[in-house]
Amino acid sequence: MLSAAKILPPLRLRPYLTALVVALLAPMLSACGINAIPTYQEQARAAWSQVENQYQRRADLIPNLIETVKGFAAQEREVLTAVVEARAKATQITVNADQLTDPAMVQKFQAAQDQLGGALSRLLATVEAYPDLKSNQNFLALQSQLEGTENRISVARRDYIEAVRVYNTELRTIPGRWIASFFYPEAQPMEPFTATAGSATPPKVDFGQ
């Protein structure tokens, strides 16, 4: 009868055999998508960074916009104040990568940004009553930058939503669900952006007064 010592490989060979087994299994594990979850997760986080960057770009433009409008329409205090307050609230609410799995935090962030977007829309609509302001070169430049930023925000949000969809789908379908339970038990679905009720309705501005 053979002893266990004779059946098992010598100790000096075992590390090499282990490395060989790992090398042989690595392509198989890669082919079955073992790296998909962390890859998709990082892509979603990178997409979120772009969302934050574009919202920050918008926030940085607002102070100059406010000062320019004040020079021509200082009497529009209510609209100006609403933008200032909405900007302050929006910049105070941040969501880091680890909080993207928290629906409440993402929705809170989105609500603050949507509120700022609505306040900006009302301000720009109000400007229609001031021809001199509408033709001011500084205002026109700021307005153009804001429009470009809003487009970038839309693209960044779309890219983030798609990245989250891919990541969440991987977590919820097979074999991704099996791989997550075994290799990435801490992985949780991320929260995408959703359409805010009433956000698609343009503000009504009455110049009758």
Compute the CA torsion angle 109, 113, 116, 122 (nearest 10 deg): -140
pLDDT on residue 16: 53
Q: In whole angstroms, give the CA distance from residue 168 to residue 84.
A: 36
Q: In whole angstroms, give the CA distance from residue 48 to residue 182.
A: 27
> Domain boundaries in the chain?
34-182
- Amino acid type, 208: G
- Amino acid type, 115: Q
Q: What is the CATH number of domain 34-182?
A: 1.20.1440.20
pLDDT on residue 33: 75
pLDDT on residue 14: 53
pLDDT on residue 98: 93
pLDDT on residue 15: 57
**Maximum Cα interatomic distance, the chain, rounded to a whole number of Å:** 105
pLDDT on residue 43: 97
Q: Other C-beta atoms within 10 Å of 3: how many?
A: 7
pLDDT on residue 196: 57
pLDDT on residue 27: 52
pLDDT on residue 25: 45
pLDDT on residue 70: 94
pLDDT on residue 45: 97
Digits of tens for pLDDT over the chain (209 positions)? Answer: 555 455 555 555 555 554 554 444 445 545 557 999 999 999 999 999 999 999 999 999 999 999 999 999 999 999 999 999 999 999 999 999 999 999 999 999 999 999 999 999 999 999 999 999 999 999 999 999 999 999 999 999 999 999 999 999 999 999 999 999 999 999 999 999 876 544 444 334 333 33
Q: Are 30 and 149 in contact (CB under 8 A)?
A: no
